[in-house]
Amino acid sequence: MFEAANCFAAEVFDDSADLDFEPGTILFARRLGPEAPVPVGAKVLARFFLEPATHSGPRTTHEILYGIVDRNIVGDLVLITRTRNRLVPRNVLIQSAAPSRAGFAERAISPLTRDASVLYEPRPDDPANCSAW
């Protein structure tokens, strides 16, 4: 998994990760394997898309952000960015929670533990791709 073919380098050229890295820092990241569990709290690079998926070709990347992966109260997979820059959103949606098939029936709330993992499976309509960390 840590072979050079599965890794890439990225430069932090602005203040979008200034809580952890200085501008000009080079990060070496590895791609997530298919069906790789992502620990909640893992530091990741997430690629956000400009437009919804189409069958005509690859999706255009809008922005790549660095942060910590987590789940919000409704179960969405989100990126919590690590910057003091107020122009960068603090929480950004990576993948919406799968809709419940139970309809209007309520179920007991089961809070996620901090040591939980997320089994990330990309879907074509995701606004982002958590492909590197």
Give residue-wise pLDDT tens across range 54-98: 667 777 888 888 999 888 888 888 999 999 999 888 999 988 887
Distance CA 8, CA 5 (A): 8
Q: Which of 43, 46, 10, 47 is nearest to 27 (CA)?
A: 10
Q: Which of 44, 36, 33, 32 is nearest to 118 (CA)?
A: 36
Supply the mean pLDDT for the chain: 79
Distance CA 93, CA 76 (A): 7
| Per-residue confidence (pLDDT) for residue 83, from 0 to 100 | 92
Give the pLDDT band (50/70/90) at residue 19.
very high
Residue pair 46/130 in contact by the 8 Å Cβ criterion: yes
pTM for the whole structure:
0.72
Q: Taking 80 as the threshold, does the pLDDT of residue 40 lie above it?
A: yes
> What's the rounded mean pLDDT across residues 29-53?
78
| Per-residue confidence (pLDDT) for residue 74, from 0 to 100 | 84
SS3 (DSSP) at 4:
helix
| Per-residue confidence (pLDDT) for residue 46, from 0 to 100 | 86
Give me the sign of the Cα torsion angle 131, 5, 82, 62.
negative
How distant, in Å, are the alpha carbons of 13, 80, 112 from that of 93? 23, 9, 18
